[in-house]
């Protein structure tokens, strides 16, 4: 997984894709959570792009920080 902390929602989506692929390759069912998490993250990204949130940059930061915790634990 990434050596440096994630900075963007696109990086989160990319790393989640790597986790999903790893889990698929190894038959690891924990990939189901990563896939669900990725779908939710993509929806947040779409919400940011469509000005759904009052503060898109803050929402992206929240998403990235929260995802970093999951990725670090994974």
Residue 1 forms part of a structural domain = no
pLDDT in tens, 8-44: 999 999 999 999 999 999 999 999 999 999 999 999 9
Residue 4 forms part of a structural domain = no
Residue 35 forms part of a structural domain = yes
- Give the count of beta carbons closer than 10 Å to the beta carbon of residue 59: 17
More confident site: 27 or 3: 27
Residue 47 forms part of a structural domain = yes
Residue 20 forms part of a structural domain = yes
Residue 31 forms part of a structural domain = yes
Q: Burial, 42: exposed, middle or buried (Cβ in 10 Å; 0-12, 13-18, 19+)?
A: middle
Residue 58, CA distances (Å) to 61, 69, 72, 73 in order = 5, 17, 21, 23
């Amino acid at each position: 997984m990434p050596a440096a902390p994630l900075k963007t929602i696109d990086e989160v989506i990319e790393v989640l894709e790597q986790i999903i692929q790893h889990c698929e390759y190894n038959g690891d069912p924990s990939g189901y959570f990563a896939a669900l998490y990725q779908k939710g993250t993509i929806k947040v990204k779409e919400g940011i792009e469509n000005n759904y949130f009052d503060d898109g940059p803050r929402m992206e930061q929240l998403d990235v920080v929260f995802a970093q915790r999951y990725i670090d634990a994974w």
